[in-house]
Chain A
Amino acid sequence: QSALTQPASVSGSPGQSITISCTGTSSDIGTYNYVSWFQQYPGKAPKLMIFDVNVRPSGVSDRFSGSKSGNTASLTISGLQAEDEADYYCTSYSGADTLLFGGGTKLTVL
């Protein structure tokens, strides 16, 4: 069970859009539409931002959107705000009742 691959860091200026990628394999992201994205501030518990590839839980800003193409899932944040600066993690169901996490991406708002 190898972790999903995310860029270590991304950055953007306020108002811009950024995209965080999450690359897996045909055994996980490529097969299942069970990709989630979590936001985590330092010292805080993670928060669910996207599930089932592109579904936003109630209360999550529509500036956050998810997509998937082949073995890669993506999280896009539009209209970047200072409060978006955090760590972001992707997950994917990988069959046989197991779950993989990505290594995490640190988003810096310039």
Chain B
Amino acid sequence: QRQLMESGGGVVQPGRSLRLSCAASGFPITRAGMHWVRQAPGKGLLWVAGMDYEGGSKKYYADFAKGRVTISRDASKNTVYLEMNSLRVEDTALYYCARDGNFFSFDEWGQGTMVTVSS
């Protein structure tokens, strides 16, 4: 049974950094693209970043995330990460990890980890 479990969220001050983790089980992340999607409180879904399965060398970022966000993975831990720098109040959101089952179609989601940016 495929499962994704995010962790690493919390309350952080503006300008600080945070690293989110997404532990996968039931499938190897080396065989699937992996993405991060966020949802601000009461708002819609917003794609943040993704990476391909072929060695994880191809990484993709939404325009608003470029330069502040880095997606990476540790195949030995079957875990995907999202490093976020220079955090802003508007980055406050529930961050979901998702598995790409086809081509930018997310067939498996975690329950999310909440990031609150506040002074």
Contact = CB atoms under 8 A, between A and B. Distances in A.
A34 B103 contact: yes
Interface of A is mostly: strand
A91 interface: yes
Contacts of A3: 44
A36 B106 contact: yes
Nearest to B4: A45
Interface in B16-32: none
Interface string B71-114: 00000000000000000000000001000011111110111100
Given A46-B106, A52-B105, A89 B45 contact: yes
Interface stretch (A10-18, A19-27, A70-78, A93-101): A93-101
B11 interface: no
Contacts of A38: 45, 106
B5 to A, nearest CB: 11
Q: Name the interface size band of chain A.
A: 20 to 34
A46 B62 contact: no
Interface string B56-68: 0010101100000
The 5 closest A-B pairs by CB, nearest first: A51-B105, A97-B60, A45-B109, A104-B44, A99-B47
A36 B109 contact: no
Interface of A: 1, 3, 34, 36, 38, 40, 45-48, 51-52, 57, 89, 91, 93, 97-104
Contacts of B47: 91, 98-101
25 contacts: A3-B44, A34-B105, A38-B106, A45-B110, A46-B37, A46-B96, A47-B109, A51-B101, A51-B102, A57-B107, A89-B44, A89-B45, A91-B104, A91-B105, A93-B104, A97-B58, A98-B63, A99-B35, A100-B47, A101-B37, A101-B44, A101-B45, A101-B46, A101-B47, A104-B45
A4 to B, nearest CB: 10
